[in-house]
């Protein structure tokens, strides 16, 4: 089958390849797993049939993740935050204000984070063969074995074949997978993606999913154990869970065509039968940052009211410049600090570090604390336990430090940020202990 027209969306300085197929009543963004190449997939009859079935009831939006397929290759592997930016860029370029997300395998964690962070743009969420934390790669030994297999087998077809299609043994299938490996990613990129998958942990995000969610998993999945799918469904509020027979991880192979057809049937029934919520979105996942000037009372007494006020004005201007630079939203000025929110935890961490550096030139030292969680949006304020935790985390920081909760650290995998473990703390007013990390320069 001839591939549809490939276009490019600009996400920062990176070009993300995407295709739009069909003209259904709602948009469906297909979020690929490990690696992909859209043109190659349309040349495979099983993939083409799978996509065509989806276009029968939706306007299907496909894309290749940065670093893979038809998108810019030499750009490194994206963090979850950058992947969310890429999806938003593709949706904007395709003229899609709101869409259902279909996250497959490694595409699931980003889809979960997107749905929790941007519920106003997510109509619904479908997850197939996915996880919140990879059940195998979280072990260092298993990760090392996996990376060695990529290094030895990439380009032969045996790596993808052995992982995804143990029930479909044929020379033709291996040949197809060999071509897919070569055209989807380089060996180095494939290894980087696998390392990224090992670091991802979005378990804390699951309770914040507020859109209709369908979770599907094969009981004998050869790559992601079925327990991972069961855990997703058990921890996402109101999620519908469908367990399917079979062992192949890939949803479209001819050897299990009946199951592939059922997967699409389940997606169609779920999405066309679900009601689109038009209620105002008042709860979202966000990273909350608190900053505080160290020894502000002492400094004010030494400078006097007029000089202290002038210094505070310069401080406020500097902080707001960094918030704008890192796409933060000011919630309130706390007098000698700020409370702000971010739609990406890595940007929040970098903003805190940039504020600390920028105000040092004013002779001021600040400390910062960050936590990611579900917040309640009010007219000019935010509330919720996540706000309370962020404030308590900030109180644990010493002069010049940025301290983050374990959830922030877990969500910035692949960002290049480094942390020092500060141990588990009991924070006042927080029912459970929280592990804290100091951000390293």
Q: What is the pLDDT of residues 147-156, one digit of tens each?
A: 999 999 999 9
The stretch 405-414 carries a mean pLDDT of 92
Domain ranges within the chain, ordered by starting residue: 7-273, 283-439
Q: Indicate if the pLDDT at residue 190 is higher than 80.
A: yes
Q: What pTM value is reported for the model?
A: 0.87
Specify the 3-state DSSP secondary structure of 350. helix
Q: Which CATH class is domain 283-439?
A: alpha beta
Please give the pLDDT value at position 6.
97
Check if the beta carbon of residue 214 is closer than 8 Å to that of residue 274: no
286-322 per-position pLDDT tens digit: 999 999 999 988 888 888 989 999 999 999 999 999 9
Please give the pLDDT value at position 340.
97
* Mean pLDDT, the chain, whole residue set: 91
Confidence class for position 278, pLDDT limits 50, 70, 90: very low
201-257 per-position pLDDT tens digit: 999 999 999 999 999 999 998 889 999 999 999 999 999 999 999 888 888 764 567
CA gap 73, 85 in Å, rounded: 17
Q: ∠ CA(250), CA(252), CA(258), 5° rounding?
A: 115
- Output 274 or 249, whichever has higher pLDDT: 249
The answer for residues whose C-beta is within 8 angstroms of residue 386's C-beta and 6 or more apart is 286, 288, 371, 372, 373, 374, 375
Residue 178: phi, psi to the nearest 5?
-65, -45
N residues, the chain? 441
The stretch 41-55 carries a mean pLDDT of 89
Domain 7-273: assigned CATH number: 3.40.50.1820
Give the CA distances from residue 27 to residues 67, 100, 102, 127, in Å, rounded to whole numbers and listed in that order.
Answer: 25, 6, 11, 16
Give the CA distances from residue 318 to residues 311, 325, 361, 377, in Å, rounded to whole numbers and listed in that order.
Answer: 11, 11, 10, 26
The stretch 376-391 carries a mean pLDDT of 90
């Amino acid at each position: 089958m001839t591939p549809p027209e490939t276009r490019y969306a600009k996400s920062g300085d990176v070009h993300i390849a995407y295709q739009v197929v069909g003209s259904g009543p709602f948009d469906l963004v297909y979020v690929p797993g490990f690696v992909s190449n859209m043109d190659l997939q349309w040349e495979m009859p099983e993939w083409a049939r799978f996509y065509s079935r989806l276009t029968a009831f939706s306007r299907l939006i496909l894309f290749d993740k940065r670093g893979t397929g038809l998108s810019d290759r030499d750009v490194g592997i994206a963090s979850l935050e950058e992947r969310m930016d890429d999806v938003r860029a593709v949706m904007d370029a395709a003229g899609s204000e709101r869409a259902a997300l279909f996250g497959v395998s490694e595409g699931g964690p980003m889809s979960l984070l997107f749905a929790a962070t941007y519920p106003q743009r997510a109509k619904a969420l479908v997850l197939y063969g996915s996880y919140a934390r990879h059940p195998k790669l979280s072990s260092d030994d298993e990760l090392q074995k996996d990376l060695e297999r990529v290094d030895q087998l990439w380009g032969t077809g045996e790596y993808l074949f052995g992982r995804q299609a143990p029930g479909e043994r044929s020379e033709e299938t291996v040949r197809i997978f060999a071509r897919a490996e070569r055209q989807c990613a380089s060996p180095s990129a494939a290894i980087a993606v696998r390392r990224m998958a090992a670091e991802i942990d979005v378990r804390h995000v699951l309770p914040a999913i507020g859109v209709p969610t369908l979770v599907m998993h094969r009981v004998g999945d050869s790559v992601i154990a079925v327990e991972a799918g069961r855990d997703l469904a058990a921890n996402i509020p109101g999620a519908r869970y469908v367990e399917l027979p079979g062992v192949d991880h890939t949803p479209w192979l001819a050897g299990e065509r009946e199951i592939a057809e059922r997967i699409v049937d389940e997606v169609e029934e779920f999405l066309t039968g679900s009601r689109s919520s038009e209620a105002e979105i008042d709860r979202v996942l966000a990273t909350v940052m608190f900053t505080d000037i160290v020894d502000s009372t002492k400094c004010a007494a030494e400078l006097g009211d007029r000089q202290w006020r002038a210094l505070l004005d310069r401080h406020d201007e500097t902080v707001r410049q960094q918030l704008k630079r890192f796409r933060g939203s000011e919630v309130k000025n706390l007098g000698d600090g700020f409370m702000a929110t971010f739609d990406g935890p890595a940007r929040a961490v970098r903003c805190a570090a940039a504020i600390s550096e920028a105000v040092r030139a004013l002779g001021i030292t600040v400390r910062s604390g960050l936590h990611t969680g579900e917040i309640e949006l009010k007219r000019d304020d935010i509330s919720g336990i996540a706000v309370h935790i962020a404030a308590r985390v900030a109180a644990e920081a010493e002069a010049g430090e940025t301290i983050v909760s374990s959830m922030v650290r877990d969500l910035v995998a692949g960002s290049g940020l480094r942390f020092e473990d500060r141990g588990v703390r009991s924070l006042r007013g927080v029912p459970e202990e929280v592990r804290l990390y100091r951000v390293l320069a």
